[in-house]
Structure 1
Amino acid sequence: MLTASQQVEATPSGRAPVRKRTRGASIDSDDLDADNIPEAGPSSPAPVAAAIQSTAVNGSGGVQPGPLKPVGEFMDCGQCTKRFTVTAYTKEHPSKPSTFLCVNCCYALGIDPFAKPRKTAVKKKASGKKEDRAKIIHYEERKGVLPLGDLCIQMIGKYIEDVEQLGDIGGINMDKVCKIICKGRRLTTETAPLFYAADRDSLEMYDCTNLNSDAFISMGKLCPNLISLHLHLCGQLSTEALSAWAKSLKSIKRLELYAPFLVRKEGWINFIKTAGKRLEGLLVTQSPRIDLEVVQTLAKSCPNLTELRLAEVGQLNVDCLAALRTLQKLKMLDLSSPGSTLSDEAIIGLLASSGKTIEILDLSDNPELTDLILPAIVKYCPRLHSLSLRNLVELTDEGVAAFFQSLKAQGHEGLTHIDFEKGHDLQDKALHALVDHSGKTVEKLSLLGWRGVTKETLNDLTRCSHLKEVDLGWCRDVTDFTIKDILDSCGKVQVIRVWGCNQLTDAVPRKKGVKVIGIETHTI
């Protein structure tokens, strides 16, 4: 017998030889899945020999169904009855439930043995658990038992096609039914007459997509005493229908239309001339056919206008603004999103002649307007209480701060609605001045896009005691403590929007009756 040192010298590399294991002694899963497993040799461990013997025994009979064992344990194949090792990819037999297949039998049956297993649906936990609370996007959802009247209204809206007449259910309930069927776009030429009546003095429909020109003409004939008419998404309203309204709606004082694309200028001019001094409100959004001639006719024929909206009007320009200077009774003026941006000089000229009565002013989406219009607003609009200057990217922090300081110096009582959305250059000075002037009056405030304002200045919002809705989107320094301070100090707040405020966490404080919308961790 060789000694240990002699064995080392006997090998060419100077290392001791390693005894080679026999295949029968291997417990590798690839060996166990092989087609031919040799008989266990004398050196085979007892467990392996027992496993091979079990395979031979089970091969003569069928495999008993049973649950899938944990990964790493042995099971008998439901097809060939040979033993294999359970993995995370083990597949169930397609025709023998609760039996499972080895790799070779998966291939034989056309099953991918390494396909990712489908995740089983996780049972929803109780709503009180922390995991479920983290998935809530709107913290407060007001739910409760619906009143009997609302249940009846929902039933009517569901089966509106079968309703012959609504009867005397009141104007408020009639409006609720109209909202329900408009939401499902079921306001058609057949269902619309349910809301018509000769004694109605106001009518509001929220989705008129399916109403054709004849339906609009019938509307004017069946509701001849309308004083106020508001139609949303009235894309099929034609020139003929608007001209017919000029004859049938002899009491109309306020007309609000959203998206009357097809009405040509002849229809506008005919209606405006017929309504004349009676018309007090014309609010039009998205009309490509209104041009300078229509605006001139409006300014000449309707001197008693108190509300004027020409939003998203493609042909609105500085010449149109010059024509509007004769209107001396305007309380609401909306010239947002024109086809070509308006100039500072045109806005200043219009405000100088018509601004003394304006209470609501919207000049949004005029990107070329600058700080020059701000002193004109202070000077010519003493009754202003709502201001929207959204997407005026040329406004500066110093200019807006000086604007609110001037309002305060003149003794202006404060604004209730303020929208300076996407004022990317507006920062601490502007917000300080805004709160100093309008902190006690503002109810709706949009600071979306004020990315440079600091968390210390955002704390000034706690002085806004009447604040109901605030948009802090993309104010990067908003934290959980900012939200907590607003919730604690602003007792009337109902909605806080925080899209893009990436410092907020799942620990954002909550308060009953307040929606915090847009927390990033809730959208993942």
Structure 2
Amino acid sequence: MVADCLQGAETAAFQYPGPSNNISAAQIRQDYEQRVSQARQQNEQQANGSGDNSNDNEEGQNGEDQNEEMAEAAVVSANTRKRKSQAAVKALKAAKQKKAKGDDNDDARHLNAMVNRRKSGNALPGQFDNCEYCKKRFTVTSYSKTGSGGGLLCSPCSKKEDLQDHQSKKISANKNKRGRRQNVSKILDGIVQLGASSLVESCIKKVADHIHDIEEFGDLPPDLVLRLSHILSKRRALTSRTVDLFLRGDTTAVDIYDCGKLEEDDFQKIFATMPFLERVNLRFAGQLKDRPLEYMMGHNTSIKHIHLDAANLVSNECWQKLFKTYGSKLESLRLSNLDSALDDESVAVLAEHCPNLRRLKLDTCWLVGDGAPTSIAKLTKLEHLSLNFLRETSSEAVLELVDKLGPNLRTLSLNGFKNADDAVLDKIHERCQQLSKLRFADNCVCTDAAYARLFTDWNNPPLIHVDLSSTRDVDNRNPDGPEEPIGLASEGFKALMNHSGKFLEKLNICSCRHISHEALSTVFDGTHIYPVLKEIDISFHTSADDFLVVSIFKSCPALRKVIAFACFGIRDANIPPNVALIGGLNAHHTTLQQDSMRVIDQMF
């Protein structure tokens, strides 16, 4: 029995995997041999004294019990050492993993701190020293921090130092985050800036940062005042207090691009402070009502240009009074986002009393319908026309409008006229001879053949700005479209680029999904050069890929902005300097990375 126990102890002992807790293999072997020799000696003594007397039998039995207890203790000790060795192996593996991840070991860090203190002459742990900051005497530990001057810090000062370090890291992280956000905002605006901003731009932004501490702009040039208005409007910082900075009694124009925080009295204050106004441009004017406009009609008699956005609290009667008051003086009128006023009757009053209008824009006016184009057709001096109605209008009304106004128009924008058919495009081809800008968007009736006829043998000079977005078949059950393509497709796109490609500056073919990849690759093949094209929108062209984007870059040397939302084939395109790619997979990361690489290249 004892031999079996010793054999088990021997087996357990030799399963010990390695040194741990200052126990060497030699020591384990020596302890084992000692226990085996003691057990053999006890067996020999029991064998020699087994027949002497009954007392010896009792002593032998007691000895045997003791041997069994010793053997069991040996087995338990071996198992304990085995568990400790396994724990040591696990700890060793964890330490290796921690080291592989780059984490510092606390003991090593404290040891390095002690070595540095010894080199620097500072007190060692357990000794006394005076705090570098508060000069109090304290007991130095291995965790004592070092101050900025090289001395040691007490526990309270160490906590303050840690808090300051944490706050500085947080501020730095916020700055980096804000910088990335500003870069993305610039990219969405089509701005890719290399290096630092100009001195003028930096000064303007600094003024905008402290706008609440500024009393007046002084003799700041009008273009810089306009730039400040852009920045503050984007930040939603134009309030009743800051708007006073833009009110000058001797100026003839007011441009406020975000009036969302202005009240009714603020608008009346604008008109009272600036009596010589000729141009009024107020965007998001949700609190503009009849009373401020009536005040403007009575005190600002020189107004020639009006641009009002989201003025939904102005009544139809007030609009009609406005048109009658300014009448023939009015040269430019832009009204947008009106959902509760300005109906067909008001448009008729406009056409009757404002015959000298040269620019008219009615964008997203909910109550304007089929009667408005007939009234607008009477404004024969119009040179710039932009219409976007939410109500459906007939193709005949649009034909009459184009037929009467076409010969004098320089820009034409028809957005959302869903019933306009091929006859409208043919009429534009026939009557319009001076267009530099054409927008015919959001239509699913006109065919690709009509677009091809429009741009083939057209006496109109090459266009500078073209927007034919969302002109496509909308039958989701047939994504490839009918046999005869609906909307701008391959042939119409080729005809457009043959007619105006050399002079185009801005092109929008968003959602024209029937333009094939072959047609796009043929137009942008790297050999056909479009020298002045600066902005192109190819969003929702599922066939667009990295090859096509690179070809566009080669064919358009002046390109500054490419919009490619939902173009999932664009992944790792090499973006040239000064070009903003908006959309596409990884476009944000790629643009920021290349922008930083360009800055690094400039530094070296």
Query: Which TM-score band applies after superposition, normalised by the shorter structure?
Result: 0.7 to 0.9
1:440 paired residue number: 502
Matches within 5 A, 1:37-76: 50-52=81-83, 68-69=94-95
| 1:479 and 2:479 aligned | no
Alignment of 1:201-216 (within 5 A): 201-216=252-267
Distance 1:253 1:70, change over 3 A: same
Q: Does 1:362 align with 2:424?
A: no
Q: Does the 8 Å CA contact 2:12/2:75 hold for their aligned counterparts?
A: no
User: Using a 3 Å threshold, how does the CA distance of structure 1 residues 282 and 25 change in structure 2: closer, same or farther?
Assistant: farther
Shift of 1:451: 2.1
How far apart in 2 are the matches of 1:284 and 1:391?
20
The range that moved more, 137-146 or 351-360, is 137-146
Max Rg structure: 2
Q: In structure 2, what is the equivalent of residue 293 of structure 1? A: 345
Note if contact 1:25-1:44 (Cα within 8 Å) is conserved in structure 2: no
Does 1:489 pair with 2:552?
no
Matched residue, 2:385: 333
Give the equivalent residue in structure 2 for 1:452: 514
- Residue type of the alignment partner of 1:291: D
Q: d(CA) in 2 for partners of 1:278 and 1:324?
A: 17
CA distance in 2, matches of 1:49, 1:137: 67
Instruction: Give the aligned partner of residue 465 of structure 2.
Output: 417
Counterparts of 1:244 and 1:309, CA distance in 2: 24
Q: Distance in 2 between matches of 1:452 and 1:305?
A: 39
Q: 1:24 to 1:395 in 2, by over 3 A?
A: farther
Is the CA contact (8 Å cut-off) linking 2:394 and 2:420 kept in structure 1? yes
Contact 2:569 2:584 in 1 (8 A): no
SS of 2:562's partner is: strand
Q: Do residues 393 (structure 1) and 444 (structure 2) align?
A: yes
In the alignment, what sits opposite 1:509?
Answer: 574
Q: Is the 8 Å Cα contact of residues 434 and 461 (structure 2) preserved in structure 1?
A: no
Q: Work out whether 1:276 is the aligned partner of 2:327.
A: yes
Q: Would the alpha carbon gap of residues 429 and 410 (structure 1) be closer, same or farther in structure 2, given more than 3 Å must change? A: closer
CA contact (8 A) 1:158 1:181 kept: no
User: 1:4 aligns to what?
Assistant: none
Who is 1:105 aligned against?
Answer: none
> What is the TM-score when the length of structure 1 is the normalising length?
0.74
The residue that corresponds to 1:520 in the other structure is 585
Mapped contact 2:452–2:492 kept (Cα < 8 A)? yes
Give SS of 2:557's match: coil
Q: Report the counterpart of residue 250 of structure 1 in structure 2.
A: 301
For residues 140 and 305 of structure 1, do their structure 2 counterparts lie closer, same or farther at Cα, with a shift above 3 Å needed? closer
Residues 357-400 of structure 1, C-alpha deviations (whole Å, 9 max, x = no match): 11111111222222221011122221111111121122221121
Q: Give how far 1:443 is off.
A: 1.1
CA deviation after TM superposition for structure 1 residue 158, in Å: 2.0
In the TM superposition, residue 234 of structure 1 has moved relative to its aligned partner by 0.6
Given that residues 137 and 517 in structure 1 are in contact (C-alpha distance below 8 angstroms), is that contact kept between their aligned partners in structure 2?
no
Contact 2:335/2:361 (<8 A) preserved: yes
For 1:210 and 1:53, how far apart are their aligned partners in 2?
Answer: 72
Deviates more, 1:370-379 or 1:141-150: 141-150
What is the aligned length?
A: 425
Q: Closer, same or farther in 2 for the Cα pair 1:208/1:140, shift >3 Å? A: closer
Amino acid in the other structure paired with 1:437:
H
Partner of 1:153, secondary structure, is: helix
Deviations 1:87-108 (A, max 9, x none): xxxxxxxxxxxxxxxxxxxxxx
**Judging changes above 3 Å, is the alpha-carbon distance between structure 1 residues 45 and 178 closer, same or farther for their aligned structure 2 residues?**
same
**What is the identity, as a one-letter code, of the residue corresponding to 2:352?**
K
Contact 1:137 1:519 in 2 (8 A): no
CA RMSD, Structure 1 to Structure 2 (Å): 3.6
Cα distance in structure 2, aligned partners of 1:505 and 1:136:
21
Distance 1:386 1:518, change over 3 A: same
Q: How far apart are the structure 2 equivalents of 1:518 and 1:45?
A: 68
Paired residues of 2:433 and 2:459 also in contact (CA < 8 A):
no
Deviations, residues 2-25 of structure 1 (Å, cap 9, x unaligned): xxxxxxxxxxxxxxxxxxxx9999
1:427 aligns with 2:427: no
Q: C-alpha distance in 2, partners of 1:456/1:265? A: 52
Q: What amino acid does structure 2 have at the position aligned with 1:434?
A: L
**SS of equivalent residue, structure 1 residue 142:** coil
Q: Give the Cα separation in 2 of the matches to 1:311 and 1:401.
A: 28
**Cα shift at 1:225:** 1.0
Q: Judging changes above 3 Å, is the alpha-carbon distance between structure 1 residues 339 and 26 closer, same or farther for their aligned structure 2 residues?
A: farther
Residues 331 and 44 from structure 1, CA distance in 2 versus in 1: closer, same or farther, beyond 3 angstroms? farther
Give the Cα separation in 1 of the matches to 2:229 and 2:74: 88
Question: In the TM superposition, what whole-angstrom CA distance separates every residue of 1:438-466 from its partner, at most 9, and x where no partner exists?
Answer: 11121111111122322221131444332
Runs of 4+ residues over 4 Å off in structure 1: 22-27, 39-46, 53-56, 65-68, 135-140
Q: Any idea what SS the aligned residue of 1:372 has?
A: helix
Unaligned runs of 5+ in 2: 1-10, 17-70, 99-172, 174-183, 473-485, 590-604
C-alpha change, 1:420 and 1:55, in structure 2 (3 Å) is closer
Q: Distance in 1 between matches of 2:72 and 2:307?
A: 92
Distance in 2 (alpha carbons) for counterparts of 1:490 and 1:320 = 40
Q: Aligned with 1:252: secondary structure?
A: coil
Q: Paired residue for 1:227, among 278, 288, 296? A: 278
Q: Secondary structure at the match of 1:326?
A: coil
Deviations 1:149-205 (Å, cap 9, x if unpaired)?
A: 333322322222222211101101111222222222221222212111121111211
1:305 aligns with 2:357: yes
The equivalent of 2:143 in structure 1 is none
Q: Does the 8 Å contact 1:239/1:266 carry over to 2?
A: no
User: Structure 2: which amino acid aligns with 1:364?
Assistant: N
Q: 1:244 to 1:314 in 2, by over 3 A?
A: same
Contact 1:452 1:476 (8 Å CA) reproduced: no
2:175 aligned with 1:144: no
Q: For residue 436 of structure 1, report the CA deviation from its aligned partner.
A: 1.3
Q: Are the aligned partners of 1:344 and 1:370 in contact in 2 as well (CA < 8 Å)?
A: yes
**Structure 2 length normalisation: TM-score?**
0.64
Contact 1:233–1:260 (CA under 8 A) maintained in structure 2:
yes
Q: What does 1:170-185 align with in structure 2 at a 5 Å threshold?
A: 170-185=221-236
Unpaired runs of 5+ in structure 1?
A: 1-21, 28-38, 59-64, 73-123, 125-134
Greater shift, 477-486 or 339-348, is seen at 477-486
